[in-house]
């Protein structure tokens, strides 16, 4: 008798998977580190961080009652999220503040879910978030970037073995956890060089009493804290 593939997917989402062998966890960490540390790979993998960054802006805008006007992702790995509402106030502050912590918090949530034996649920949740983000993209490169990312996650979620799915979930979580501090470091370097004066930190400096440098410090603390918590969870969840 033929089985319903969607029923099988639902079963895999709602059930727990065996813990990944420590060797494979280490391999996932090496892959994630390479994607962040090697310039040739980082110039491409950083697009994934931008997707999470701009998505976090969008979620914060909607959560605070602002109207999301669209998201653009650019080939130079920059992005732009437009929302309508009061130009000042808590909603605008939270929207501006969400970008840099976004990848770190997504990585932390993915690490917790993966460590709890739910890597398939993590992958399908990411796929759902990418599908929702796709509805807000307003430029061709952004559509292409989100579609490619979504296609990769779908392929692993649909056709990959349980071990491969767990490996990709581990690598993806570690990548975001490692990438988040690097983007904050890039922000600090850019500001020190006299560039990036329209960054999230500078926008927040105009909206709040804290200077831009203090906001860079907040971003760094959140990203490093998420890295420590996420890495600890993944290590504890391995066999």
Tokens of 60: 């914060």
Average pLDDT value for residue range 47-68: 97
Q: What are phi and psi of 84, to 5 degrees?
A: -115, 145
- pLDDT, tens only, 214-229: 999 999 999 999 999 9
Residue 18 has a pLDDT of 87
- pLDDT, tens only, 145-189: 999 999 999 999 999 999 999 999 999 999 999 999 999 999 999
Of residues 91 and 239, more confidently modeled = 91
- Identify whether the C-beta of residue 107 lies closer than 8 Å to the C-beta of residue 180: yes
107 class by beta-carbon count within 10 Å (0-12 exposed, 13-18 middle, 19+ buried)? buried
Q: State yes or no: pLDDT of 120 exceeds 90.
A: yes
Confidence of residue 193 (pLDDT cuts 50, 70, 90): confident
Instruction: Give Cβ neighbours of residue 210 (< 8 Å, ≥ 6 apart).
Output: 204, 218
Instruction: Give Cβ neighbours of residue 224 (< 8 Å, ≥ 6 apart).
Output: 181
What is the C-alpha separation between 100 and 96, in angstroms, rounded? 9
Tokens of 168: 């990709």
């Amino acid at each position: 008798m033929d089985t319903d593939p969607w029923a099988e997917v639902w079963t895999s989402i709602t059930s727990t998977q065996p813990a990944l062998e420590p060797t494979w966890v280490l391999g996932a960490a090496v892959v994630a580190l390479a994607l962040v540390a090697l310039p040739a790979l980082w110039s491409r993998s950083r697009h994934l961080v931008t997707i999470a960054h701009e998505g976090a802006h969008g979620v914060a805008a909607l959560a605070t009652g602002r109207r999301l006007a669209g998201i653009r992702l650019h080939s130079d790995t920059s992005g732009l999220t437009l929302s309508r509402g009061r130009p000042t106030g808590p909603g605008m502050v939270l929207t501006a503040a969400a970008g840099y912590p976004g990848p770190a918090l997504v990585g932390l949530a993915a690490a917790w879910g993966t460590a709890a034996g739910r890597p398939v649920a993590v992958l399908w949740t990411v796929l759902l978030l990418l599908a929702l983000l796709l509805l807000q993209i307003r430029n061709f490169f952004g559509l292409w970037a989100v579609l490619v990312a979504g296609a990769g996650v779908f392929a692993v979620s649909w056709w990959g073995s349980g071990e491969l799915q767990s490996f990709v979930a581990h690598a993806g979580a570690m990548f975001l956890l490692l990438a988040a501090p690097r983007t904050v470091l890039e922000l600090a370097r850019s500001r020190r060089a006299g560039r990036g004066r329209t960054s999230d930190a500078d926008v927040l400096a105009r909206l709040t009493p804290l200077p831009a440098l203090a906001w860079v410090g907040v971003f760094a603390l959140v990203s490093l804290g998420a890295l420590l918590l996420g890495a600890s969870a993944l290590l504890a969840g391995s066999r």
